[in-house]
Every structure is written in structure tokens, then in C-alpha cells.
Structure 1
Amino acid sequence: MARLAQLVLITFALALAGCSTAYYAAWEKLGVEKRDLMVDRVEDAQEAQEDGKEQFATALEQFKSVVEFDGGDLEDYYDSLNSELENSQEAAEEITGRINDVEDVAEDLFKEWENELDQYTNANFRRDSAAKLNETRSQYQRLITSMRRAESSIEPVLAVLNDNVLYLKHNLNARAIASLKGELATVNQNVDKLMSNMQAAIDESNSFIQSLNN
């Protein structure tokens, strides 16, 4: 058990050092192949998107509460909205990082798979493996396109939220609230699009994981 824990620590140290060959070799000693890592990273990206959906929904609700302000300390409302903006920015960074991780392992997986085709002496096995590789690549392309589409939907939401937070920061008054009301439709539209794209990416992740496990 101690040796296993040590190997895991070494693996993560190698990953942080950027040594991908040693990183994969260490995982393989644990019986974890690139395909397994691919599934794990897709699941991590999926989880980040699920968390992102919740965060942006919360930010939208906070924005609505500011627009519907009807007394109290407006600065408290500003502080809450600003906090949700910061949380949303962190969620966006997490999503991007997880998608990048998926791309990294996918590139290495497909490169290894393609190189190993030349090792077959059985023509039927080689043909079947090549067909599976092409199929998996096509499914992966749909996945990563969907993920990046969802990612690109984040920026318009953050941009509008940031504009409104900045405006409110320097205009804590009823007039500012009236101005924010005019932005609500845009925020709603951007968040709805983001939610739709996020869910599409999550659904595509499920399909991809299922195809790898079959």
C-alpha cells in the first residue's frame, strides 16, 4: 500500500514537471492506460461543466436580485454580485483547464494508437483497430467541438456581468439599478445559450465515455 501511494505521488510530481513520457509510464505501472486517463479527464471536464452551470445560474439569480432591489443596503447587493462574478471567473478557468487536459491526453492516446498499428502482423486485427481509431477520433472531434463551443459561450456572460458590476461599483443608486434592468434580457439570453451549450457538451461526454468503454 505504501509503495502504491509513493508511486502515485511520483506520478503527480512527474506530471507537474511536464515529463509526459514518465508520467504515462508511472500510471501504466499502476495498470492505468491512456484510455483510462482519457475517460477520467473527460469526466473531470464534465464535472467542471456541471459545476459551471450551477455557478452561472447562481450568478444570474444574484443579478436578478440586484435588478429587483427594493430597499436595504445596495452595497451589500453589489458585494454579493461581485462575489458571484469572481466565482464565475474561477469556474470558467476550471472549465478551460479541464478541456485542455482532455486535449493533451487525447493527442497522446491517438498518437500511440496510430504508431501501434504498424506492430500488427495480423491484417484483420490491424484493419479492425484502424477502423476503431478512426471512429474514436470522429467521436472525440464531436466531443471537443462541443466542449469548446460551450467554453466560448462563457465569455459573453462574463463580459456583461463584469460591465454591470463595474457600473454598479461606482453608481450605488436607484439610477444604476434602472440601467441594470435594461441589461437583464441580454444576461438572460447569454446564460440560456451557455446552459444549452454546456448541457450539449455534457451529453456528448456521456456518449464518448460510453463508446470508449464498449
Structure 2
Amino acid sequence: MKTRLFWCCMLLIVAFCTIGCRGTVYSTYEKFGVHKRDLLKKAVVAARDDQQEASEQFKDALTRIRELYRFEGGNLEKTYDALKRDFDRSESKAKDVRGRIQKVETVSSDLFAEWEREIKEISSADLRERSRRQLRQTRDRYEDLHSSLKRAERSMEPVLTQFRDHVLYLKHNLNAEAIGAIRGEAVDIQNDISQLIREMNSSIAEADRSFRLCRDARFRFSILDLIY
């Protein structure tokens, strides 16, 4: 019981310290005229850009797989090493995307919490209700955008899984005879990965459309202000 109480206290301390640190960071930014909405805008733009970069990196890795399955001679080890580097870069890009989305979630949560607190400070009932309405509209638009970003993020994992499987398989069978033996499966393998990449790109395109819809929205202190 004492151990459980100790860890609960530690978690609370960490949570309070984290919130306090974020508050200090926000205060510092605001001294230079950078507000939460500006930080959210940058985070969303960065998340979108990282998703598009990940898509390009995944295509490069697929190209490398095709080269390996067409292997006819030369340095097989070198070709495999290049594929492994492409896979590692793809995995790193996917990790960047996850990190960017987490930042979007943190900043948006803090921004909406601040907005709700400030609404309570408005003495005019009419202005208070208008601000609540704007908050609801902004949050709805944000949720649409966030959902599309998360779908794009989830769509990357099946592609990474396929890449990881084949990188490990080739590592365990790294010789020309083994490559030749599985060459007959190469078309199916490439088609599977190509289909997954198409699905991933479709999700990324959907996220980009949501981003543009939010950017083109026209109402005061809405997601428009948060992103553009």
C-alpha cells in the first residue's frame, strides 16, 4: 500500500512539474509575441510536412527493394545495407510524425483549456456565449484535422511492418541463391507494399485536405487563426 501511495505521489509530482514547465515555456514565448495559437500553427504545419516526407522516404525504400529483387550480380551486401538504411530512415520519419502529432495534441489541449478558463472571466453574458460558440466551432474543426492526422499516422505502421519483415528475412538469407529463390514472390511482395503505400498516401492526402479546409475557414479566432 505504501509503495503504491509513493508511486502515485511521484506521478502527481511529475505531472505538476510537466504542466509547470509548459507554463514557463508558454510565458517565455508570449514575452516575444508568440502565443499558443502560433505554436499550434507551427506544430500542425510541421506534422503535415513530416507526413509528406515520410511518404517520399517509403517510396525510396520500395525502390530499393525492387533493386534488390532484380539483383543479378555485384555486391549483394552493399545493396542490402542500402535497403537497411532506407528502412531505418523510414522508421525515423514515422517516429517524427508521431512526435509532431503529440506536440499538436499537447499545445491544442493547453490552448483550449486556457480558452475555457478565460471565458469564465468575461462579464458580459452575450460575449461569453459568443466566445463559447467560437470555441465549439474551433474545437470541431480541430478534431476533424486531428482525426485525419492520426489516420495518416496509423496508415504508416502496416507499411513499416512489411518493410521490417522483408529486411529481416533478407538479412537471414543474404546470398544470391536465396534472393533468386524468392524472386518469384517479389511481384506479390512489391504489390502488397505498393498497395499499402497507396493507402497511406490516401490518408496523408485526406489530412492535407483537412488542413486546407481549416486554413480556408473564415471566422474570427477559429482554426484559421490557429493555423494561418
TM-score bracket relative to the smaller structure: 0.7 to 0.9
Structure 2 partner of 1:113: 115
Q: Which of 96, 100, 103 pairs up with 1:101?
A: 103
Structure 2 partner of 1:41: 43
Q: Which amino acid aligns with 1:80?
A: A
The answer to whether the 8 Å contact 1:157/1:190 transfers is yes
Q: Which of 94, 119, 124 pairs up with 1:122?
A: 124
Query: How many residue pairs are counted as aligned between the two chains?
Result: 200
The answer to whether the 8 Å contact 2:152/2:200 transfers is yes
Q: Which amino acid aligns with 1:161?
A: F
Decide which moves more: 65-74 or 128-137: 65-74
TM-score for the superposition, normalised by structure 1: 0.86
The answer to whether the 8 Å contact 2:148/2:207 transfers is yes
Structure 1 partner of 2:191: 185
The answer to whether the 8 Å contact 1:60/1:191 transfers is no
Q: How does 1:36-75 map to 2 (within 5 A)?
A: 36-75=38-77
Verify: 1:208 aligned to 2:210, yes or no.
Answer: no
Instruction: Using the TM superposition, give the Cα deviation of residue 165 of structure 1 relative to its aligned residue in structure 2, in angstroms.
Output: 0.9
Q: Structure 2, unaligned stretches of length 5 or more?
A: 1-17, 218-222
Provide runs of 4+ in structure 1 moved above 6 Å.
none
Verify: 1:199 aligned to 2:201, yes or no.
Answer: no
Q: Structure 1, unaligned stretches of length 5 or more?
A: 1-15
Q: Which amino acid aligns with 2:69?
A: V
Structure 1 or 2, whichever has the larger Rg, is 2
Instruction: Using the TM superposition, give the Cα deviation of residue 18 of structure 1 relative to its aligned residue in structure 2, in angstroms.
Output: 7.0
Identical-residue share of aligned pairs (%): 35
Q: Distance in 2 between matches of 1:129 and 1:76?
A: 61
TM-score for the superposition, normalised by structure 2: 0.81
Instruction: Using the TM superposition, give the Cα deviation of residue 184 of structure 1 relative to its aligned residue in structure 2, in angstroms.
Output: 1.3
Q: Deviations over 1:165-184 (max 9, x none)?
A: 11111222211333433311
Q: Distance in 2 between matches of 1:185 and 1:18?
A: 50
Query: What is the RMSD computed on CA atoms of the aligned residues?
Result: 2.0
The answer to whether the 8 Å contact 2:148/2:203 transfers is yes
The answer to whether the 8 Å contact 2:159/2:197 transfers is yes
Task: Rate the CA distance shift 1:195–1:18 in 2: closer, same or farther, 3 A.
Answer: farther
Decide which moves more: 177-186 or 84-93: 177-186
The answer to whether the 8 Å contact 1:67/1:181 transfers is no
